[in-house]
Amino acid sequence: MARDQGALKLDNPWPRIGWASLAGLIVISAVLGFVVLSRYQQNDQALDIWGAICRGLGITADRGPAAEPKPPLRTPTQIAWTSSTLDQIAAGNAQRGAFIALNCAACHGESGVSSSSLIPTLAGMDAAAMFKQLDDYRSGKRLWGVMGAMAKALSVR
Amino acid sequence: MQNSSRLALYHYWVAFAVFLPAVVLGAWQMLMRSPLPAPLDDPNAYYTSVTLHGTAMAYVVTTFFAMGFGYAVTATSLGRPVRGMTAAWIGFVICLIGTLMAVVIVLSGRATVLYTFYPPLLGSAWYYFGTLLLVGGSMIWVALMIYNMAAWKRDNPNQPVPLPMFAITATALLWAWTASGVILELLGVILPRALGLTTQIDAGLARTLFSVTLHAIVYFWLMPAYIAFYTLVPQAAGGRLYSDTMGRLTFIMFLVFSLPVGMHHLFADPEHGSGFKFLQSFFTFFVALPTLLTVFSICASLEIAGRVRGGRGLLGWIPALPWKEPMVLAVALSLVMLGFGGFGGLINMSYAMNSMIHNTSWVTAHFHLIFGGAVVIMYFAIAYEMWPRITGKPLRSKALARWQLWLWFWGMMITAIPWHITGLMGEPRRVAIFDYSDPFVARMGPLAIISVIGGLILLVSAILLIVILVRSQLGERQLSTPLRYALAVNPPKHVPASLNGFALWNAILLVLMVAAYGYPIGQFLILKSSVPAYEVTRQITGAGVR
């Protein structure tokens, strides 16, 4: 033991033990994780060794345990806050928007402050909130006769 | 030497001064989650409180305690003053400024992002700067520990580095490796978005980088407790350390195995494949090795002490131990909590079993037993051991100290065991409001109330701790014996170079980190996983919506 004077020289026992254990550990865990587990976790007969490794790396999406028919998606809205949605809103034409908004003033008040408890105030709402509500009316996710008709007349832009 | 002592004492004072209010917050959080009425019944206040409690306990208390402990250990184990005192004080001030910044911003309600600050949650940039200063300032401490060990080795060629110094340097290296994850996350992902340089935030990358920190940081908290196990406990029990080599191996294994395992916190994350999740889960099992080695080694050391004191027979050495010493009592209580907490941890880290308890209060209960129990109770014992040596003023009453330790033990057990059970029932963690009129949630009500009782006991114990330390500080100065560390049964004369330094182990760790994290982090260069951030810099005010 006292001979062991170089911490990194491979002819000393501790560095040899250390590196050998490391190599063994990585090989065993990689085989278990990327071959055995990836192949048998879902017991997919069609998966060959490369397919299993790709699945272990997360490159190929999991097909899931069963191919049941998917029920139609029931979500409260069709809007997802992805970056493209936000970019689209940011690219909106404010002048055109102001023109269209003249239609709203009849019910929601001239400066967007509503006087009725049935009709919400629009003043202070940001573009994203307006976009989502109008889209929900347009796609029928939110039901209110007047607004549904108003929104259906509008385009996404 | 005097100056090193004052340095350690200042660090301890900051740690314990932050500790008490953080315990108050913790107790209030338990009350808020329970069916009982809580003062200031506001969910926003709850999340702010969780952020503050977590930041204080996980970053501030532990970092300051470990740094103070490191300076004390350096001076006493090497038998000479700490080198680089000016840098050490500068580091202390930087960490203090960082702490104050973070606390003020959280209190103002502009950084309620919880202490793991997972994006897309985004708080005020000042909060992140504060955390960065705290973590960055502690890197001065890391450099000083390495420098002091290297300088001693240069002055004492071919001599084995004393075990306490070897262990605290392992702690410093571990912290440097650990903190690299959160530093990269802050500098590379969060701060650019918080400062408005980017429009989106890569939540997947941020979570992966944080996972480098998230598990190993626990071992950074744990290390002072383990150093006490090996070097202070046998001495306090009146015996010797069973094996010096076993101690060195333990700290080396902690350094190597605690790092490439953090992805076991991301089992439910979609951005990683199952292969790496399994790989890191598999590595995590090896962290149990140094802990089992330590439990064996400490029990053997205590048996030696018990037999020296006249214990006979198979178990006769146990009652022969000096149970009146806070250090000996603390180690027993600590090992019990480590056992329960470790058992829970095995379930957390198992790829399959994790899905039963993922993101439930089981996880919170687990790390409260390990950190809030096994580790913190050793911090108390270390304080009781070191305070008299540093100040020259002995503890006024060891009986009071024992009361404090017992209260903490029972408080933590009463809090955490029911908390585990509610986790198994499906109670989510980090949630302010539960509808106890719902029959599914109502079953958890009585257990939550028991946890509140545990929380109150913990609060009493924390107050008692401060009372004991302040009473001792105000007491009369007496000549006290200097701190001495336990000798091994066979004190080392020659140690192989590999067990007397960290060159080999850092090289091995580097390879292991590249194997475990190279691809999972590298894939984000190609993967487009950025999302808009959710800013929480403005707090919605208003009463609770129960």
> From the list A14, A55, A57, which residue is nearest B496 (CB)?
A14
The answer to whether residue B491 neighbours chain A at the CB level (below 8 Å) is: no
Residues of chain A with CATH 1.10.760.10: 83-152
Q: Which residues of B are catalytic?
A: 215, 219, 366-368, 429-430
- pLDDT values of chain B reduced to their tens digit, one per residue, 546 residues: 567 888 999 999 999 999 999 999 999 999 999 999 888 888 889 999 999 999 999 999 999 999 999 999 999 999 999 999 999 999 999 999 999 999 999 999 888 888 888 888 899 999 999 999 999 999 999 999 999 999 999 999 989 999 999 999 999 999 999 999 999 999 999 999 999 898 889 989 999 999 999 999 999 999 999 999 999 999 999 999 999 999 999 999 999 999 999 999 999 988 898 899 999 999 999 998 999 999 999 999 999 999 999 989 899 999 999 999 999 999 999 999 999 999 999 999 998 899 999 999 999 999 999 999 999 999 999 999 988 888 888 888 899 999 999 999 999 999 999 999 999 999 999 898 899 999 999 999 999 999 999 999 999 999 999 999 999 888 888 766 778 898 898 888 888 999 999 999 999 999 999 999 999 999 988 877 788 888 876 544 443 333
- With beta carbons less than 8 A apart as the criterion, state whether B351 and B202 touch: no
This model of the complex carries an ipTM of 0.83
Query: CA-CA distance, A19 to A30, in Å (whole number)?
Result: 16
Residues of A in contact with B515 (CB under 8 A): 26
- Three-class SS of chain A: CCCCCCCCCCCCHHHHHHHHHHHHHHHHHHHHHHHHHHHHCCCCCCCCHHHHHHHHHCCCCCCCCCCCCCCCCCCCCCCCCCHHHHHHHHCCCHHHHHHHHHHHHHHHCCCCCCCCCCCCCCCCCCHHHHHHHHHHHHCCCCCCHHHHHHHHCCCCC
Q: Supply φ then ψ for residue B283, to 5 degrees.
A: -60, -35
- Does the distance separating the beta carbons of B512 and A13 come in below 8 Å? no
The neighbouring-strand residues paired with B202 are B530
Q: B244-257 vs B503-522: helix axis angle to the nearest 10?
A: 20
Interface size, chain A vs chain B, as Cβ–Cβ contacts under 8 Å: 96
The model's pTM? 0.83
Which residue type does B333 have? L
Which range of A103-117, A129-143, B138-152 scores highest in mean pLDDT? It is B138-152
- With beta carbons less than 8 A apart as the criterion, state whether B248 and B502 touch: no
Alpha-carbon torsion, ordered B34, B39, B40, B44, to 10 deg: -20
For B511, the closest chain A residue by CA position comes to: A22
Q: What is the DSSP letter of B202?
A: E
- Does the distance separating the beta carbons of A26 and B515 come in below 8 Å? yes
pLDDT in tens, B248-276: 999 999 999 999 999 999 999 888 988 99
The answer to whether residue A55 neighbours chain B at the CB level (below 8 Å) is: yes
A152 CB contacts (<8 Å, ≥6 apart)? A137, A138
> From the list B494, B505, B532, which residue is nearest A83 (CB)?
B532
- Does the distance separating the beta carbons of A33 and B276 come in below 8 Å? yes
The neighbouring-strand residues paired with B534 are B121
Query: CA-CA distance, A28 to A35, in Å (whole number)?
Result: 10
Residues of A in contact with B279 (CB under 8 A): 29-30, 33-34
- Distance in angstroms between the alpha carbons of the first and the last residue of chain A: 78
For A52, the closest chain B residue by CA position comes to: B275
- With beta carbons less than 8 A apart as the criterion, state whether B172 and B214 touch: no
- Does the distance separating the beta carbons of A26 and B498 come in below 8 Å? no
* Listed residue (B285, B264, B260) closest to B274, CA to CA: B264
Is residue A1 scored above 80 in pLDDT? no
Q: Six-digit token pair at A117?
A: 């408890």
How far is C-alpha B100 from the chain's CA centre? 20
- With beta carbons less than 8 A apart as the criterion, state whether A121 and A113 touch: yes
Tell the residue number behind the tokens 């080795």, with chain if given.
B153
pLDDT in tens, A115-131: 777 788 787 777 788 88
- Does the distance separating the beta carbons of A12 and B274 come in below 8 Å? no
Query: CA-CA distance, A95 to A67, in Å (whole number)?
Result: 49
Which residue type does B99 have? T
- Does the distance separating the beta carbons of A86 and B275 come in below 8 Å? no
Query: CA-CA distance, B64 to B13, in Å (whole number)?
Result: 9
Segment (H or E) for B291: helix B288-308
Query: CA-CA distance, A101 to B272, in Å (whole number)?
Result: 46
Q: Supply φ then ψ for residue B241, to 5 degrees.
A: -75, 135
A interface test, pick of B208, B261, B279 with most A CB neighbours within 10 Å = B279
Query: CA-CA distance, A127 to A92, in Å (whole number)?
Result: 9
At residue A106, the pLDDT reads: 76
Number of other residues whose CB lies within 10 A of the CB of residue B399: 11
Q: What is the maximum alpha-carbon separation in chain B?
A: 71
| DSSP annotation string for B116-140 | T--TTEE--HHHHHHHHHHHHHHHH
At residue B293, the pLDDT reads: 94
At residue A72, the pLDDT reads: 63
A interface test, pick of B271, B278, B350 with most A CB neighbours within 10 Å = B278
By CB neighbour count within 10 A (0-12 exposed, 13-18 middle, 19+ buried), where does B250 fall? buried
> B121-122 and B200-202: which strand pairing?
unpaired
At residue B323, the pLDDT reads: 95
User: What kind of fold does domain A83-152 have according to CATH?
Assistant: Cytochrome Bc1 Complex; Chain D, domain 2 (1.10.760)
The CA–CA distances, whole Å, from B351 to A41, B208, B264, B269, B446 equal 11, 17, 7, 12, 31
Q: Six-digit token pair at B494?
A: 């020659």
At residue B544, the pLDDT reads: 36
CA angle centred on B498, ends B239 and B484, rounded to 5°: 25
The CA–CA distances, whole Å, from B504 to B285, B382, B501, B509, B516 equal 22, 31, 8, 9, 18
Q: Six-digit token pair at B89?
A: 């004080």
Q: Six-digit token pair at B127?
A: 């909060």
Compute the residue count for chain A.
157
pLDDT band at A93 (very low <50, low <70, confident <90, very high): confident
Task: Please report the sign of the dihedral spanned by the C-alpha atoms of residue A19, residue A20, residue A25, residue A27.
Answer: positive
Q: What is the DSSP letter of B1?
A: -
B525 CB contacts (<8 Å, ≥6 apart)? none
| DSSP annotation string for B151-178 | HHHHHSTTPPPPHHHHHHHHHHHHHHHH
By CB neighbour count within 10 A (0-12 exposed, 13-18 middle, 19+ buried), where does B127 fall? buried
Query: CA-CA distance, B53 to B19, in Å (whole number)?
Result: 9
The answer to whether residue A132 neighbours chain B at the CB level (below 8 Å) is: no
